[in-house]
Amino acid sequence: MTWTLDGGARKRPPEGGRLTGDAIPGEVMCLLYGRPMASQAPSRVIAYIDGFNLYYGLKSKGWRRYLWLDLEQLIASLLRPYQELSGVKYCTARISAPPASVQRQTTYIEALAATGVRIIEGKFQPRDGRCLRCGHTWATFEEKQTDVNLAVEMMRDAHLDLFDTAMLVSGDSDLAPAVAAVQQLYPGKAVVVASPPGRRSDVLNSVASAAFSIGRAKIANAQFAQVVMSTTGHQLRRPLKWT
């Protein structure tokens, strides 16, 4: 038996029951997750977004104009007909410089919050950078806690039975143990990896129930309006650098 993907290619699921590709049809998803096609109960999906992994993936493709991304709309466009979106969680850390970048990030986070996306913040930790050639040192920062926060949220939600499927938007292989643990401890639940542009991880995909890459069309069609109203009633305008 073969399966037809949304892009038109025909593939057979590899041994082990996992299917990877650009998109996954509903019939395959049902078989992968053990949900009968005739089931009346919708499958609950929570999305977990690795904010910096997605951001740098878009930048690596030269897609700065797509950074004003409506994550709730994007995830909704990736769901199958029998699925319903129960929540979107965005894990990131606040940068401290330069000021223009800080303002763009703040504006974007406020726009996400206005649509109901839950923001989960890590932090940047100072450390010394060092040139291996000349020995010169300088002060820099590294992102901390984002992957841990994401893993904890996914595991906690699985324990509380808040989802049937977790959709992980990341290409960070460090998350592979958490993905494997969720499925081992909660066999009735699935973790699907939706790789950001330019951030595919074979290690991460290999432990997921299913995996696919988010295409450019999905990203381009899930942009916020030029102006978004914040939760406090003020206007949030798309940063000029992202136009």
Which domain, by its residues, includes 54? 38-242
Q: Does residue 197 fall inside a structural domain?
A: yes
Q: Does residue 195 fall inside a structural domain?
A: yes
Q: Which amino acid is at 104?
A: R
Q: Which two tokens stand for residue 22?
A: 């650009």
Note the pTM of the prediction, 2 decimals.
Answer: 0.80
Query: In this predicted model, which residue has the larger pLDDT, 138 or 180?
Result: 180
Q: Tell me: pLDDT of 139 over 50.
A: no
Q: Does residue 224 fall inside a structural domain?
A: yes
Q: Does residue 216 fall inside a structural domain?
A: yes
Query: In this predicted model, which residue has the larger pLDDT, 68 or 243?
Result: 68
Q: What is the mean pLDDT of residues 61-71?
A: 97
Q: Does residue 54 fall inside a structural domain?
A: yes
The pLDDT, as a whole number, for residue 28 is 40
Q: Tell me: pLDDT of 197 over 90.
A: yes
Q: What angle do CA 225, 229, 231 make, to 5 degrees?
A: 140
Query: In this predicted model, which residue has the larger pLDDT, 5 or 83?
Result: 83
Q: Does residue 172 fall inside a structural domain?
A: yes
Q: Tell me: pLDDT of 130 over 80.
A: no
d(CA 88, CA 72): 7
Q: Tell me: pLDDT of 51 over 50.
A: yes
The pLDDT, as a whole number, for residue 106 is 96
Q: Tell me: pLDDT of 216 over 70.
A: yes
List all residues 6 or more positions away from 238 whose beta carbon is below 8 Å from its beta carbon. Answer: 68, 224, 226, 227
Confidence of residue 8 (pLDDT cuts 50, 70, 90): very low
What's the CATH code of the domain at 100? 3.40.50.1010
* Residue 12 backbone class (left: φ over 0; alpha: ψ -120 to 50; beta: rest): beta
Q: Does residue 96 fall inside a structural domain?
A: yes
Q: Which two tokens stand for residue 137?
A: 């040192």
d(CA 62, CA 77): 22
Q: Which two tokens stand for residue 109?
A: 């986070």
Q: What is the mean pLDDT of residues 5-27?
A: 40
| Percent of the chain residues past pLDDT 70, beyond the cut | 75
The pLDDT, as a whole number, for residue 31 is 42
> What's the total number of domains in the chain?
1
Looking at residue 208, what DSSP letter applies?
Answer: S
Task: Give the pLDDT confidence of 147-170 residue by residue, as tens digits.
Answer: 899 999 999 999 999 999 999 999
Average pLDDT, the chain: 83
d(CA 67, CA 133): 36
Three-state DSSP class for residue 111: helix
Q: Does residue 4 fall inside a structural domain?
A: no
